[in-house]
Amino acid sequence: MDAIAADHVIPVSGPVLSPGWVGIEAGRIREVAPGRPPRELAVVEGGPASVLMPGLVSAHTHLALGHLRHVADDLPFLDWILRGIVPAIEASHATPAVFEKGARRSARELLEGGVTLVGDNFLRAEGVLALRETGQKGIFFQEVFGSLAIDEAAYIETTGRELDGLAARLGGFPFGYSPHTPWTCPAKTFAWIAARASSSPAVPVASTRCWRNAAPSTATGSVGLRSRPSGRASGRRSSSRTPCRRRRRISVSSPPTR
């Protein structure tokens, strides 16, 4: 068994150990204890003022948009989305490599901040490549829209074919579906994606957006409703100028990530 020692160890439960150490064997935590590790163990020292703690979770990110930091940040929420972010995303498709670069930057910054489990929500899967490179675990949530579709039935059919190949494209990386918002994902499309998830208990549904009248999802699993202060979807900063007073998160339970 090897050990990692730190000035402060924060266990999942119980008091903070100052100092403390964690014993690791075959890639698994075998022991968490106060004080110094036994002398016979190979020890990695955390150094002065070091803190060893469980990895943090970022449940809603857009990793591939790391290159759009600070774009139109001075605008109100809807202008930020419609006049800043959306045009910038469309322009980025001309040079797809920027999505990969942005995803790598986002994943590295999350890891440097202690985040080891990530929920990546987007239309493109460059974030999966970035997470594999850093070793972080996570779930890729394919975003589903539909509000701008001229023919909603045709949109559902096309999106369904794309989702049929999602597992193969991700090469075994855990995935789920993310209906965007009630005003960008019409009721028919929302019901369809929930029913699709229901037919496969291993596929979770997640959405973190602004809801005026949140209702239980029809997707498989237990549903929790939690209110929190309003703010931008990216989590970069909060704003009182969002289109509703509260943001609510509807989450559907899912199996652990691989």
42 vs 181, more confident: 42
Same domain, 90 and 210: yes
Same domain, 39 and 76: no
Count of domains forming the chain: 2
Domain residue limits at 130 = 56-252
Instruction: Give the mean pLDDT of 58-76.
Output: 94
Of all residues in the chain, the percent with pLDDT exceeding 70 is: 79
Return the pLDDT at 96: 92
Return the pLDDT at 20: 96
Return the pLDDT at 156: 96
Task: Characterise 73 by phi-psi region: left (phi > 0), alpha (psi -120 to 50), beta (else).
Answer: alpha
Q: Is the confidence at residue 248, as pLDDT, over 60? A: no
Same domain, 234 and 129: yes
Same domain, 11 and 132: no
13 vs 206, more confident: 13
Q: 224 pLDDT band (50/70/90 cuts)?
A: very low
Asked whether residue 258 is domain-assigned, the answer is: no
Distance CA 9, CA 90 (A): 45
Tokens of 246: 């509260």
Lowest mean pLDDT among 95-104, 136-145, 244-253: 244-253
218 vs 53, more confident: 53
Instruction: Give the mean pLDDT of 199-218.
Output: 53
Output the domain CATH number for residue 153.
3.20.20.140
Same domain, 123 and 240: yes
Return the pLDDT at 201: 64
- Please name the amino acid found at residue 122: F
Distance CA 198, CA 100 (A): 31
Same domain, 199 and 221: yes
